[in-house]
Amino acid sequence: MVRRCAGQMIICRSEKEIEKIRTSCRLVAKILKKMEKAVVVGGTTKELDEIAEASIREAGAKPAFKGYRGYPAALCASVNSQVIHGIPNSRRLNNGDLVSLDLGVLLDGYYGDAAVTAVAGNATVRAARLISVTRESLYLGIQQAVVGNRISDISCAIQEAVESQGYAVVRSYVGHGIGTNLHEDPQVPNYGTRGKGPRLKEGMVLAIEPMVNEGTHEVKVLADNWTAETLDGRLSAHWEHTIAITKNGADILSKLEGE
């Protein structure tokens, strides 16, 4: 079913389609779990990318990001002040490095997308607090993803959760619809006032992904044309789930079976 909302083309997925998206998302969750454990002192993000790509192909899936607008890897690994779209490289991770891991797959025609943030070795108090507020803000946003609410009710809940803790939400990148394309309508900003944007309907599938900065919300893109970094060089964390809107509330698709 295809519906037009405020100029956007938002697709409502059938239960069967949602199960396919769930299968893709579970694969992402499973691999991210493996990645989190592989974020170690002395390891590299390039190694993480290799494990991610091998795991994806082993499952008969394709990396969703590799080749997307020329992105060169399966995984986005953004270290410390890098916000998102960090390209994996061979620099060794130091104790306390914060690493945002973002992964997408395509399986049987449907996409899954999720992100987590992990720390190599011992997390500093600063990093641990930033990560926990980022994750918490995502869950508060997801709670607003119910039939009858509007997109910006999700956005506003995330922004309030983040700013009440003294952090800032990135504005120049947003969450998105997902399904048979990696990025579909609607856009899901992580900031805004309540009651704006398309109304949420059963069957909509959204990737909600707050990027949270310690200092300014402003980011710059590096010369590699991908890596987004905080303008002030302070830390940034990212957490993402793909969810489906159901009549019983938000169904988190990108979690492990039984989680």
Count of residues that interact with ligand MF3, criterion CB under 6 A: 12
- Nearest approach in angstroms of CB 240 to Co ion is 5
Cα distances (angstroms) measured from residue 219 to each of 115, 140, 173, 211: 19, 24, 10, 11
Angle, vertex CA 101, rays to CA 93 and CA 18, nearest 5: 165
**Closer residue to ligand MF3 in complex, CB, 147/255:** 255
The identity of residue 181, as a single letter, is: N
Select the residue whose beta carbon is closest to ligand MF3 and give its number. Answer: 71
Q: How far is the CB of 11 from ligand MF3 (least distance, A)?
A: 17
DSSP-derived letter for residue 69 is: G
Q: Is the dihedral of CA 93, 95, 97, 99 positive or negative?
A: positive
Nearest to 242 by CA among 217, 209, 218, 219: 209
Q: Binding pattern to ligand MF3, positions 90-129, x when CB under 6 A?
A: ------------x----------x-x--------------
Asked if residues 18 and 100 have their Cβ atoms less than 8 Å apart, the reply is no
The dihedral sign for the CA sequence 35, 124, 227, 163: positive
Task: Residue 65: name its binding partner from Co ion, ligand MF3, none (Cβ under 5 to 8 Å by kind).
Answer: ligand MF3
CB crowding 77-99: b at 16 or more within 10 Å, else e = bbbbbbbbbbbbeeeebeeebbb
The correct pick among 40, 41, 71, 147 for binding ligand MF3 (CB under 6 A) is 71
Task: Kindly identify the residues of this chain, within the stretch 7-66, that bind ligand MF3 according to CB under 6 A.
Answer: 65
Interaction residues for ligand MF3, span 183-222 (CB under 6 A):
207, 209
Which of 31-39, 68-76, 119-127, 159-167 is the region at the interface with ligand MF3 (rule: CB under 6 A)? 68-76
Instruction: Check residue 67 for interaction with ligand MF3 (CB under 6 A).
Output: no
List interacting residues with ligand MF3 (CB under 6 A): 65, 68, 71, 76, 85, 102, 113, 115, 176, 207, 209, 240
